[in-house]
Structure 1
Amino acid sequence: MPGPWGAVLYDTVTTHVRTTPRRRSFRHRGYLWLVDLDRLPPVPRPLRPLARFRPHDHTLDPTGGAPTIRQDLQRYLARHGVRLGPGQVLMLTQARSLGHVFNPLTVYWCRDEAGSPLCTVAEVHNTYGGRHRYLLPPDPEGRGESVKDFYVSPFFPVDGRYRMVLPEPGQRLHLTIHLERRGGRAFTATVRGTARPAGPAALLRAAATHPFATWAVSLHIRYQGARLWLSGLPVHPRPTTGPSRPAENPTPTEEVPTP
């Protein structure tokens, strides 16, 4: 149900449930965009402070080596033996708003030229400046698994497996990610949402309902991480090499493989 901008906005509720070594849960509300990478929303200039889709915010090469989000994704898929060609890519993400964006998770649903599902890509950002993608094969129910090999939270080491349920959304958005570690399920994150066509009125409504939404995500993650740290939960050191290498921000954060 794309609106006048060829995109969809989802009012979302994100829930995180940690089960080990200490049970803790929280939820927060916000909104996400579902956009076609070949038809990014033509947001008029007066509204661009509320929504911008810059390649720098959504690519693995933060230096700007890829001129578009699609080209960066296409290069990534080619390195993994997947030929995207002219197929469609839908991206679920937050747009830059009021000068800030942080996407714990961006999801790409890729189809081939004939319109058949090709793959799903789950792109995870951590609060230390790191970015990493998990490539999942097509599945009728959106299910996929991957070894966890990216440092997200200082309260979990880089081990275990992600079990993801990421069906392509329609009127409803329903995503689930489980972190399975030795001994059982350690963490679950879900995102639920309801769609409405994206256009000027919908964007203004979303911004009014969830002001400073992108800032709120970052602050909420840091707040929850600080609570866990103050409660005495042990911290696992960050790797010094590879895709999980640390950046400059030392603030403890909660495990955030979903937005």
Structure 2
Amino acid sequence: MPTPEPVPADVAQLCFGSVGHRRLRPVANAFRYRAYYLRLPLRSLSDPASAWPSRLCRRNRFGLLSFYDADHGDASGDLLGWISALLHAEGIDDADGQIWLQAMPRVLGYVFNPVSFWFCQRADGSLRAVLCDVRNTFGERHFYLLDDGFAMEQGAALHARKVFHVSPFNPVAGSYTFRFVRVLQAQAAGTAERTSAAIDYCDDAGVLLQTSISGLARPLSDRSAAAAFFSYPMQSVGVMLRIHYQALRLFLKRAPFYPKPAPPQQKVTR
């Protein structure tokens, strides 16, 4: 992992860390893989005077790493306009601060993002709402809007009823509990920011599956983009291969299998 360094406020970030899963029942299964992901301040990047900070991680153009606006939101490319309209339609009018989009970049033109997060802040920096963009390997997606009506505390439990099919080894039932944390962490090279997301999938008997995504932030630059690509050049392909590999492991362990239902008609749930 590259050496952490201080990250100024409201600059595009590349976070280096890991993704982990732990299934508790009815069969046990666990894994953890290296990963990196982007965190982009959309309001700052919408300023015409704001330059994209890396030539090796390119915006809307092919590169070693790349970020395409059309991969997110409604594919129109207007990310800030889309999320602002969605929040307004859901009655959230006070998310007038920074909006951070967290997602994996394309690697050599390809990406599969199982989940992306839109962190919507008030003007004072407090977290007002989180939009979770969840995708499955069937090309479907669904949005869970987490909103407790107040400024969210660090690590507060946020809940959503499961309505979208992700894995054939889990039914479309039960609920998710999300926890998000951003903390400053002392490092030898200075203070760095660590971001983490924890997601528990629960049924009537309790927690069934635990997922975690965490990483240390660095400013997005040619240096950090090169470090990401050359330390893990197969990330995007690896995500898809590992999804199918873990599915095979569960199949061989005789985990219960649930056929895919039709996707929910409503695209956003709270």
Fold-level similarity (TM above 0.5)? yes
Report the alpha carbon displacement of residue 94 of structure 1 after superposing the two structures with TM: 0.7
Aligned to 1:191: 213
Aligned to 1:175: 197
Report the alpha carbon displacement of residue 241 of structure 1 after superposing the two structures with TM: 4.1
- Of 6, 14, 32 in structure 2, the residue corresponding to residue 9 of structure 1 is 14
Name the CA distance, whole Å, in 1 between partners of 2:129 and 2:216: 24
Name the CA distance, whole Å, in 2 between partners of 1:230 and 1:96: 31
Read off the aligned partner of 2:36 and give its amino acid letter. Y
Name the CA distance, whole Å, in 1 between partners of 2:161 and 2:10: 37
Question: Does the alignment pair 1:141 with 2:154?
Answer: yes
Structure with the higher strand share, 1 or 2: 2
Query: Does the 8 Å CA contact 1:57/1:101 hold for their aligned counterparts?
Result: no
* 1:38-187 mapped onto 2 (5 Å cutoff): 38-40=43-45, 42=52, 47-48=57-58, 49-59=63-73, 61=74, 64=75, 66-83=76-93, 86-137=96-147, 138-143=151-156, 144-168=158-182, 171-187=193-209
Name the CA distance, whole Å, in 2 between partners of 1:47 and 1:179: 33
1:32 match: secondary structure = strand
Alpha-carbon displacement from aligned partner over 1:87-116 (angstroms, at most 9, x marks no partner):
310111111221111111211111234544
- Cα 1:4–1:146 shift into 2, 3 Å: closer
Query: Does the 8 Å CA contact 1:35/1:91 hold for their aligned counterparts?
Result: yes
Aligned to 1:210: 232
Report the alpha carbon displacement of residue 27 of structure 1 after superposing the two structures with TM: 0.9
- Cα 1:84–1:220 shift into 2, 3 Å: farther
Q: Over aligned residue pairs, what C-alpha RMSD do you find? A: 2.4
Alpha-carbon displacement from aligned partner over 1:196-238 (angstroms, at most 9, x marks no partner):
2221011001100011211111111111112212332232111
- Cα 1:244–1:215 shift into 2, 3 Å: farther
Name the CA distance, whole Å, in 1 between partners of 2:22 and 2:259: 22
Name the CA distance, whole Å, in 1 between partners of 2:9 and 2:22: 37
1:74 match: secondary structure = helix
Report the alpha carbon displacement of residue 3 of structure 1 after superposing the two structures with TM: 6.5
Alpha-carbon displacement from aligned partner over 1:170-204 (angstroms, at most 9, x marks no partner):
51122211011011210001122222222101100
Report the alpha carbon displacement of residue 51 of structure 1 after superposing the two structures with TM: 2.7
Aligned to 2:258: 236
Query: Does the 8 Å CA contact 2:130/2:146 hold for their aligned counterparts?
Result: yes
Q: Percent identity?
A: 30
Q: Structure 1 stretch 175-184 or stretch 110-119: which is displaced more?
A: 110-119
Name the CA distance, whole Å, in 2 between partners of 1:231 and 1:149: 26
Read off the aligned partner of 1:140 and give its amino acid letter. E
The number of aligned residues is 241
Alpha-carbon displacement from aligned partner over 1:118-142 (angstroms, at most 9, x marks no partner):
2122221111111112112241124
Name the CA distance, whole Å, in 2 between partners of 1:5 and 1:117: 14
Query: Does the 8 Å CA contact 2:19/2:34 hold for their aligned counterparts?
Result: yes
- Cα 1:132–1:115 shift into 2, 3 Å: same
Name the CA distance, whole Å, in 1 between partners of 2:221 and 2:265: 36
Read off the aligned partner of 2:35 and give its amino acid letter. G
1:232 match: secondary structure = coil
- Cα 1:157–1:47 shift into 2, 3 Å: closer
Report the alpha carbon displacement of residue 242 of structure 1 after superposing the two structures with TM: 1.9
Name the CA distance, whole Å, in 2 between partners of 1:85 and 1:4: 18
Contiguous gaps of at least 5 residues in structure 1: 246-259
Q: Which runs of 4+ in 1 moved over 6 A?
A: none
Name the CA distance, whole Å, in 1 between partners of 2:233 and 2:145: 33
